[in-house]
Amino acid sequence: MTQHADVVAQMRQLIQILAQHNHAYYVLDQPVIADSEYDQLFHQLKALEQQYPDLIQADTPTNKVGGQPLSKFESVTHAVPMLSLGNVFNQDELFAFARRAEERLPNQTIQYDVELKFDGLAISLWYANGVLVRGVTRGDGETGEDITHNVKTIRNLPKILSSAEYSIPEFLEVRGEVLMPKSGFEKLNAANLAKGEKTFANPRNAAAGSLRQLDPKIAASRPLAFYAYGIAQCVPHHGLNTMSESLDWLHQLGFAVGERHFVCDSIQAVQEVYEQINQERSQLSVEIDGLVIKVNDLKQQQQLGFLSREPRWATAYKFPAVAALTTVENIHWQVGRTGTLTPVARLNPVAVGGVTVSNVTLHNIGEIHRLDVRIGDTVSVYRSGDVIPKVEKVWPEFRPAEAETVQLPACCPVCDSPVVMPEGEALARCSGGLYCAAQRIEAIRHFVSRKAMDIEGLGDRWVESLLHLNLLKDVSDIYHLHEHREALLKIEKMGEKSVQNLLDAIERSKKTTLGAFIYALGIRGVGETTARMLANTFQTLDALRVANLEALKKTPDVGDITAEWILDFFQAPHNLEVLDRLLAAGIHWDAPLAPTRQPLNGESWVITGTLSKMGRDEATQMLQALGARVSGSVSSKTKCLVAGEKAGSKLEKAEKLGIPVMNEDQFLSLMAEYGQTQG
Ligand code: IVH
């Protein structure tokens, strides 16, 4: 009983939403959702009706066609109703369509006519003795609107029929689609943009908007085209036998037909055509949203007849839906290797373009707010391009009362350290970089790297094995590895010698500089230079640990956001635990040179060209040891340029700005004066 009430409520809701969108599409020509989204809603309703046929609502749109015509045009009742087509979306459904036709036509061979499914507006044209007398929109399928004045302005549409081969019928009603070819659409939008007028979202909207103008001059100015795809009435009878002959005949009388058109001997061949056209779709001159598959023989079409709103002899074979509807079951926060927190929606699994999607990233908290997505919401999931699925739209209409909003967590879901997001940043991060298991691999890699603690030999292979043995929970465990010599020896291909080499390298790394150690901590925004500036400014780790925001911001090279990251790092309790363990393990350094004793303190130097006696890194280190900053580009603030062989534009610029230039030898003798010699 309750379940039935739920189903009825769901049906009512879908019917109401579909009615709104139908009105927007057919009557106002202002669709607010994509056709594929409409299809999803429609199919959801149809599936419910199939499952609960007893509960089908009397006003369901699944057995009628469009909306009511607008009153401003004269209404015309179609002598032959303009029906719609059923849809198939994949090979199985296509084959099922063919099976149903075969079962009704026992022992008959069936050929299929395959046409482009134009994404425009269906219209009907009346010709009396070969003269165009009326054009009518589809409307609700029974009654449409008289748009003769506009239809007459469509350039490729014959106003008078003529043919050398065929006689012209006394009365002819032709069905087809009005649309705006892609090139015309682009030109129209570009022109509108230049005039500051409104642009159209897609060719279909542009065509619809143009056809429904009361002033035919407007329609005339729009690049519309008509493509014929069927004959509704012909007096006297045309005597044609197949769909494809009808298209040829229409073409002979002066109508444009689709630029591709096939006759297939089997439904397998139809599938092949579908795959081919899906590939070539972007090269076509018009927008299509699929193919129309029709039983080719007109007598067979008659035998098959109609079912409610659709012919049994034809179906639309839509291109893969790149969107699907599903519900958000939960939203989790994932911590990346660099500490970023990414919200991930866990979905009720749904097929999107042939792939089952059950998780989809929501990128950041800003995106959650933009979409206003909540746990329990119904969403449209798109696969943009080929791979990454995304939530394109939330349907507040379907929001259950108990839907939950999502907040940025205060603490990291992996390590419980505070989550931080400085103002102006889009991404939230876990501040427990030294401790957080999610960030462990990156933290270790960075910690051991050459410019940090420089532990040679502790490469990715070692790290992986050590993590596997649970010997590295955080970077401080590196200095306890010697306690696990036996376990290390058991690691595949790690002999006595390599274990000893590793332990020696670890031991050697304990003597470092404060700058290298600060850099090794992997604080966000703190690169090698900034780390050295911090060391020089604060002189001790203890002073840096307790520095306030103001003091941090005053450090050369530290911007406002980096200052916040530094503060957050030293406020995360777990990081401090790891720091203490590192120091307890014996990491030490000599007191850095006091800034006042640094002869090149605060100067900006640039190195360019090839140095023959040393590498650029070495020259950089020498300069930095004397308090200079080494920058990548020459500006008026540059103190001096060191120019090696083949120096190019930087040398030119320095000369232009009158900045002192030194060659390699001059540089080396200056360094020697300050006690910096090559290592
Ligand atoms: S034949 C009994 N052929 O698709 C209906 N329709 O979703 C026979 N359409 O309203 C329609 N291209 O506007 C047919 N090559 C084609 C078509 C085509 C586009 C449209 C048509 C129809 C809608 C059905």
How many Cβ atoms sit within 10 Å of the Cβ of residue 580? 11
User: Do residue 589 and residue 608 come from a single domain?
Assistant: no
Phi-psi region of 229 (alpha: psi -120 to 50; beta: other; left: phi over 0): alpha
Instruction: List the structure tokens of 112.
Output: 């299929």
Residues 382 and 424 in one domain: no
pLDDT bin (cut points 50, 70, 90) of residue 420 is very high
292 CB under 6 A from ligand 1? yes
pLDDT tens-digit readout, 443-478: 999 999 999 999 988 988 889 889 989 999 999 999
- Sequence-separated (6 or more) residues with CB below 8 Å from residue 502: 455, 457, 458, 462, 481, 488
Instruction: Quickly state the pLDDT bin for 209 (edges 50, 70, 90).
Output: confident
Same domain assignment for residues 636 and 653: yes
Ligand 1 center–CA 15 separation, angstroms? 23
**Residue 561 belongs to what domain range?**
417-595
Q: By mean pLDDT, which of 19-23, 419-423, 621-625 is the weakest?
A: 19-23
Q: Highest-confidence range of 162-166, 214-218, 510-514, by mean pLDDT?
A: 510-514
Q: Best of 117, 204, 243 to mutate for ligand 1, by most ligand atoms within 8 A of CB?
A: 117
Q: Report CA-CA distances (Å) from 247 to 241, 262, 475.
A: 11, 11, 75
Given this model, what pLDDT does residue 644 score?
Answer: 93
pTM, to two decimals = 0.50
Q: What CA–CA distance (Å, rounded) separates 175 from 83?
A: 11
Single out the residue in 316, 339, 373 at which a domain terminates.
316
Q: Which residues contact 345 (CB under 8 A, 6 or more apart)?
A: 328, 330, 331, 359, 360, 361, 362, 373, 379, 391
Do residues 183 and 287 both lie within one domain? yes
For residues 69 and 490, the model is more confident at: 490
Q: How much is the pLDDT for 1?
A: 45
255 touches ligand 1 (CB under 6 Å) = no
More confident residue, 226 or 52: 226
The phi and psi torsions of 295 (rounded to 5 degrees) equal -65, 130
d(CA 34, ligand 1 centre) in Å: 18
Could you tell me which residues come within 8 angstroms of residue 440 by beta carbon, excluding any fewer than 6 positions away?
A: 467, 472, 473, 474
Q: What crossing angle do the helices spanning 2-22 and 35-51 adopt, rounded to 10°?
A: 150
What is the domain-level CATH number for residue 26? Answer: 1.10.287.610
Task: Kindly report the backbone phi and psi dihedral angles of residue 116, in degrees, each rounded to the nearest multiple of 5, phi listed first.
Answer: -70, 140
For residue 294, say whether it is annotated as part of any ligand binding site: yes
Please give the Cα distance from 316 to 177 (Å, whole number): 15
pLDDT of amino acid 2? 61
Cβ atoms of residues 124 and 148 within 8 Å: no
Give strand ranges (E) for 597-664. 604-608, 629-631, 640-643, 661-662
Other CB atoms within 10 Å distance of the CB of residue 676: 18
Domain boundary among 546, 572, 595: 595
**Predicted pLDDT of residue 445:** 93
Residues 168 and 223 reside in one and the same domain = yes
511 assigned to a ligand binding site: no
Chain-centroid distance of CA 619 in Å reads 45
Q: Look at residue 136 and tell me if it is in a domain.
A: yes
| Residue 348 placed within a domain | yes
For residue 633, give the CATH number of its domain. Answer: 3.40.50.10190
Q: At residue 67, does pLDDT exceed 60?
A: no
What tens digit of pLDDT does each residue of 557-574 get? 788 899 999 999 999 999
Distance CA 200, CA 61 (A): 28
Gyration radius from the chain CA atoms: 37
Mean residue pLDDT of the chain comes to 89
Percent of the chain at pLDDT exceeding 70 = 95
| CATH number of the structural domain spanning residue 293 | 3.30.470.30
Task: Give 404's DSSP letter.
Answer: B
Instruction: Find the mean pLDDT for residues 241-254.
Output: 96
Does 518 fall in a domain?
Answer: yes
Whole-number Å distance between alpha carbons of 566 and 522: 10
Provide the number of structural domains found in the chain.
5
Question: What is the pLDDT averaged over residues 103-120?
Answer: 96
85 has binding-site annotation: yes
Instruction: Flag the least confident range among 127-131, 232-236, 309-313, 675-679.
Output: 675-679
Q: What is the largest CA-CA distance in the chain?
A: 109
Cβ of residue 229 lying under 6 Å from some atom of ligand 1:
yes
The token pair at 642 is 């060191």
**What's the gap in Å between 115 CA and the centre of ligand 1?**
9
In a domain, 269, yes or no: yes
Q: List the catalytic residues.
A: 117
146: nearest Cα among 157, 158, 138, 154: 138
Ligand 1 center to 451 CA (angstroms): 67
Mean pLDDT computed over 489-504: 86
Say if residue 531 is in the same domain as residue 613: no
Residues 455 and 547 in one domain: yes
Query: Is ligand 1 within 6 A of the CB of residue 316?
Result: yes
Q: What is the CATH number of the domain that holds 343?
A: 2.40.50.140
- Cβ–Cβ under 8 Å, residues 187 and 223: yes
Whole-number pLDDT of residue 272:
97
Q: Could you tell me if the CB of 230 is within 6 A of ligand 1?
A: yes
What pLDDT is recorded for position 322? 65
Which one is predicted more confidently, 516 or 555?
Answer: 516
- 409 lies in some domain: no
Residue-level pLDDT at 385: 42
d(CA 185, CA 224): 9
At residue 383, the pLDDT reads 66
Query: At 28, is the pLDDT very low, low, confident or very high (cuts 50, 70, 90)?
Result: low
Examine residue 678 and state whether it is found in any structural domain, yes or no. Answer: no
CA distance 378 to 347: 10
Q: Which residues pair with 604 in a beta bridge?
A: 629
Q: Is the CB of 115 under 6 A from ligand 1?
A: yes
Say if 81 falls within a structural domain.
no
One domain, residues 364 and 465: no
- Structure tokens, 41: 């809603």
Ligand 1 binding pocket includes 295 (Cβ within 6 Å): no
| 171 and 267 housed in the same domain | yes
Annotated binding residue 412? yes
The reply to whether 337 and 264 lie within a common domain is no
Q: How far is CA 455 from the centre of its chain?
A: 40
Q: Which of 137, 173, 135 is nearest to 151 (CA)?
A: 135
What's the pLDDT band for 576 if we cut at 50, 70, 90?
A: very high
Last residue of a domain, one of 287, 316, 345: 316
- Is the CB–ligand 1 distance for residue 457 below 6 Å? no
Residues 460 and 330 in one domain: no
Q: Is the pLDDT of residue 86 over 80?
A: yes
39 is in an annotated binding site: yes
Q: Which amino acid is at 423?
A: E
Indicate whether 320 pLDDT > 80. no
Helix and strand counts by DSSP (H, E) for the chain: 24, 26
DSSP bridge pairs for 642: 607, 662
138 is in an annotated binding site: yes
Please work out whether the CB of residue 232 comes within 6 Å of at least one atom of ligand 1.
no
Note whether 372 and 517 are same-domain residues: no
Q: What does the alpha-carbon distance between residue 209 and residue 328 come to, in Å, rounded to a whole number?
A: 36
Q: In 10 A of CB 124, how many CB atoms?
A: 24
| Distance (Å, whole) CA 248 – CA 295 | 16
Q: For a pocket test of ligand 1, which of 64, 177, 289, 309 has the largest count of ligand atoms closer than 8 A to its C-beta?
A: 177
Look at ligand 1, atom 22, and give the residue with the nearest C-alpha: 84
Q: Is the peptide bond before 409 cis (omega within 30 degrees of 0)?
A: no
Check residues 51 and 506 and name the one with the higher pLDDT: 506
Q: Name the DSSP letter for residue 397.
A: G
Atom of ligand 1 nearest to the CA of 121: 13
Residue 177, annotated as binding a ligand: yes
Distance 408 CA to ligand 1 centre (A): 49
Contact 167, 238 (CB under 8 A): no
551: number of Cβ within 10 Å = 16
Mutate-to-test residue for ligand 1 from 78, 82, 118, highest number of ligand atoms within 8 A of CB: 118
Whether 62 is in a domain gets the answer: no
Burial (0-12, 13-18, 19+ Cβ within 10 Å), 518 = buried
Query: CB-hemisphere CA count at 13 Å for 81?
Result: 14
Helix (H, G, I), strand (E, B) or coil at 297: strand
Cα(168) to centroid(ligand 1), Å: 25
Name the strand (E) or helix (H) holding 543: helix 541-545
The reported pLDDT for the residue numbered 66 is 42
